[in-house]
Amino acid sequence: MRRLYPTPGGLTGAAELEDEYLLPAARHVRANFVTSLDGMVELGGRSSPLGGPADREAFMAMRAVADVILVGAGTVRQEKYGPVRLDATVQERRRARDQAALPKVAVVSNRADLDPQAKLWGGGEAKPLLITTAAAAEARTDLAAVAELVVCGDQFVDLQLALDELSTRGLQRVLCEGGPTLFRTLVTAGLLDELCLTTSARLVGPGHRGLLGDQPLTEPASLTLAGVLEGDEMLLSRYALGAQS
């Protein structure tokens, strides 16, 4: 892996890549996606066919420095999410930064239409968070046994309130791993600070889901290039969100 911008140079090992993505201990919402050259985020419903070793290294580095992983219920189902796994040396580096050994997982769902037997819920003593609505929490009391239900709205999840709830738990550095609907909502609500975008050297054609899903933005969003890495014939770009125009 090598840095192309802003300061060219090589990156060696997981610790240096974590430093590349490390953020101050303040609220920051980062989204991470891999796309084809024509902007698609899935093949066969999953992102992994678009990725590669460099994308996987960056994915793990971003998880290693995050306080919480924010993900939509559809992505949990499609990608078959399980508990977060980080090796012992990564966990030691997290503790040295006064972070928990593992990032928390927070699933966003208006309807809480999730299987309580899914492998995500069986990872250890600390339950994942399920950010949902009052109506869904009342209807899906079975999920309270496997997840900590966080009510953030009556019929639809209020993401501003959700981020505030995460902050009260000390979960400031947020990594959003999709999907497109959650990403678009964060952008349109002005809640996204950074987009990390891996561009896979593939063209997949129409019929696949794009970065923003199926609905247009109400207004274009302006972004500023903050950094570019290269590895495995992929470009890994970081963009800061600016004022909408």
User: How far apart (Å, rounded) are the C-alpha atoms in residues 19 and 112?
Assistant: 35
For residue 238, pLDDT over 80 is answered with yes
Residue 10, number of CB atoms within 10 A of its CB: 8
Question: What is the separation of C-alpha 144 from the centre of its chain, rounded to a whole number of angstroms?
Answer: 23
Summarize pLDDT for 100-134 with one digit per residue, the tens: 999 999 999 999 999 999 999 976 667 999 999 99
- Its pTM stands at 0.95
User: How far apart (Å, rounded) are the C-alpha atoms in residues 39 and 65?
Assistant: 26
Mean pLDDT over 9-16 rounds to 96
Summarize pLDDT for 133-179 with one digit per residue, the tens: 999 999 999 999 999 999 999 999 999 999 999 999 999 999 999 99
What proportion of the chain, given as a percentage, has pLDDT over 70? 98
For CA atoms 160, 166, 172, 176, the dihedral sign is negative
User: How far apart (Å, rounded) are the C-alpha atoms in residues 46 and 41?
Assistant: 8
- pLDDT value, residue 123: 64
DSSP label of 83 = -
Domains and CATH numbers, the chain: 26-37+47-204+224-241 (3.40.430.10)
Non-local CB neighbours of 83 within 8 Å, separated by 6+ positions: 105, 119, 120, 122, 123, 124
User: How far apart (Å, rounded) are the C-alpha atoms in residues 59 and 139?
Assistant: 34
Mean pLDDT over 177-196 rounds to 95
**CA-angle at 8, arms to 3 and 13, nearest 5°:** 40
- pLDDT value, residue 125: 61
For residue 36, the one-letter residue type is S
- pLDDT value, residue 245: 36
- pLDDT value, residue 216: 80
User: How far apart (Å, rounded) are the C-alpha atoms in residues 239 and 20?
Assistant: 14
- pLDDT value, residue 244: 41
- pLDDT value, residue 124: 63
For residue 205, pLDDT over 70 is answered with yes
For residue 232, the one-letter residue type is D
